[in-house]
Amino acid sequence: DAKTTQPPSMDCAEGRAANLPCNHSTISGNEYVYWYRQIHSQGPQYIIHGLKNNETNEMASLIITEDRKSSTLILPHATLRDTAVYYCIVRAYNNNDMRFGAGTRLTVKP
Amino acid sequence: KAGVTQTPRYLIKTRGQQVTLSCSPISGHRSVSWYQQTPGQGLQFLFEYFSETQRNKGNFPGRFSGRQFSNSRSEMNVSTLELGDSALYLCASSSQGATYEQYFGPGTRLTVT
**Per-residue confidence band for B101, with pLDDT thresholds at 50, 70 and 90:** confident
Do A100 and B43 lie within an 8 Å CB cutoff?
yes
- Rounded CA separation B75/B65 (Å): 9
Whether cis (ω within 30° of 0) applies to the bond prior to B8 is yes
Do B88 and A94 lie within an 8 Å CB cutoff?
no
Per-residue confidence (pLDDT) for residue A73, from 0 to 100: 98
Share of chain B above pLDDT 70, in %: 95
Which residue in chain B is spatially nearest to A44 when comparing CA positions? B104
Per-residue confidence (pLDDT) for residue A100, from 0 to 100: 86
Contacts of B90 in chain A (CB under 8 A): 43-44
Over residues B74-101, the mean pLDDT reads 88
Contacts of A93 in chain B (CB under 8 A): 100
- pLDDT of residue B96 exceeding 80, the answer is no
- Rounded CA separation A103/A90 (Å): 13
A50 touches chain B (CB under 8 A): no
Per-residue confidence (pLDDT) for residue B102, from 0 to 100: 87
Per-residue confidence (pLDDT) for residue A63, from 0 to 100: 98
CB contact set of A69 (below 8 Å; sequence gap of 6+): A23, A24, A25, A27
In angstroms, the Cα distances linking A5 to A23, A26, A31, A85, B12 are 5, 11, 16, 14, 35
**Per-residue confidence band for B99, with pLDDT thresholds at 50, 70 and 90:** low
Q: Where on the phi/psi map is residue A103: left (φ > 0), alpha (ψ -120 to 50), or beta?
A: left
**Per-residue confidence band for B98, with pLDDT thresholds at 50, 70 and 90:** very low
Which residue in chain A is spatially nearest to B31 when comparing CA positions? A96
Contacts of B88 in chain A (CB under 8 A): 41
Contacts of A102 in chain B (CB under 8 A): 42
**B45-76 residue pLDDT tens:** 999 998 899 988 999 999 999 999 999 999 99
A101 touches chain B (CB under 8 A): yes
- Rounded CA separation A16/B8 (Å): 39
DSSP collapsed to 3 states, chain B: CCCCEEECCEEEECCCCCEEEEEECCCCCCEEEEEEEECCCEEEEEEEEECCEEEEECCCCCCEEEEECCCCCEEEEECCCCHHHCEEEEEEEECCCCCCCCEECCCEEEEEC
State the nearest Cα–Cα gap between B108 and chain A, in angstroms.
10
pLDDT by 10s per residue, chain A, length 110: 668 999 999 999 999 999 999 999 999 888 899 999 999 878 999 999 999 989 999 999 999 999 999 999 999 999 999 999 999 999 887 677 788 888 999 999 99
